[in-house]
Amino acid sequence: MSSLIPSRSAGGLRFTLFGVPVTIGLSVVLLLAFLGFPLGDPLRVVLWVGIGILSILLHELGHAVAARAAGATPEIALAGLGGATTYRSSTRTESRGWSLAIGLAGPAVGIVLGLAAVALGAPCCGVAVDAAPGEFALSVFVFVSLVWSVLNLLPILPLDGGQALASLLPGEPRQRQARAAGVGAVVGTVVTVVAVMGRAMFAAIIVGLLTWQNIQTWRAARRPRQDAGPGAPGDLKAARDALAAGHGDETDAAEVQRRAYAEGRYQLAAEVGEIALLRGATAPRFAYDTARAWAQLGMTDRAVATLERAFELGFDDREQLREEPAFGPLHDHPRWNELTRAS
């Protein structure tokens, strides 16, 4: 799974690329436009935005192709500070080898394409602001493909480098997460200081926020298990990690998922539901509530697939399904009428 913040909005451009559902939210366009605004010339800003979206999409396709090779069904969303490739976890994708391969596939695609463009004569080592539009576009592609991929390899959670580090470190999942977060906190602090000294304030703010997240993750993961267990009122991410490590039961998972959803932390609510289903939960509520969370994230295909799982487990209240506000984005899905049709 890749970078930073998946969209919680159902809006955006939707299409399928090589069989992978893709959603491009307005937020990623606006953020790239903000970053490209100093270029001044409208044509160059448009090129910057378009090539930036292309680069992020190619990055996420790397994750998606690797996830598909592991037997998963991926879905891509571009929004906020980047993109996210989601898929239902399985024993295979949770293995260290496949987890590492999926995590590194995105940056690998960017680096390979960037180096290939340089080998074919594209400008290297910076954006050619004053060049002709064609040369400018090539320089932007090389810059975003190489520089963004290298930055994504920094060992800071939840960047791909941080996820890869968590896969490589010894220990059970909770310990690996804590150790990776500790490394991320140190590296992030150094990078933030360097960015401030170089007056790269936007980068300093972003890395600073990630560093704070790593510190919080490290602190939560190091608490005694009884304080951060699935049923405790503590950090929800720590509770999710405890569930993933095999602690707690279906009641604990249901409570963590309920709290996460109530707080608007839909990604976490979806992850807890997927963990419960992977561990063999048979209560339809896990699949139903997980589908609600996916729908809130704009992952419509994932939401529909999880609803189908809810029906397999015995859910059959189609009236509730039709009246659930969270499923509004699914009303245009090709499978919606079939799901809500009375049996």
Spatial distance between the Cα atoms of 239 and 305, rounded to a whole number of angstroms: 25
- The two structure tokens encoding residue 52: 């930036």
pLDDT per position as a tens digit, 292-330: 998 888 888 888 888 988 888 888 888 888 888 888 888
Contact 110, 149 (CB under 8 A): yes
3-state secondary structure at position 282: coil
Domain limits of the chain?
A: 1-153, 239-340
Residue 122 has pLDDT above 90, yes or no: no
- Rounded CA-CA distance 338/343 in Å is 9
pTM, two decimal places: 0.64
List pLDDT tens digits, range 187-237: 999 999 998 998 888 788 888 888 988 888 787 666 554 444 454 445 778
Q: Is 18 exposed, middle or buried (0-12, 13-18, 19+ CB in 10 A)?
A: exposed
Q: How many CA atoms lie within 13 A of 92 on its CB side?
A: 10
User: Measuring CA to CA, which residue among 300, 288, 222, 281 is closest to residue 261?
Assistant: 288
Of 71, 101, 104, nearest to 89 (Cα)? 71
Q: Looking at the chain, how many residues does it have?
A: 343
Chain centroid, CA 320 distance in Å? 29
Fold of 239-340: 1.25.40
Side chain identity at residue 60, one-letter code = E
DSSP-derived letter for residue 331 is: G
User: Rounded to an integer, what distance in angstroms lies between the CA atom of residue 213 and that of residue 116?
Assistant: 35
Contacts of residue 19, defined as CB under 8 A and 6 or more positions apart, other chains included, come to none
Name the DSSP class of 332. G
266-300 confidence digits (pLDDT tens):
888 888 888 888 878 888 888 899 999 988 888 88
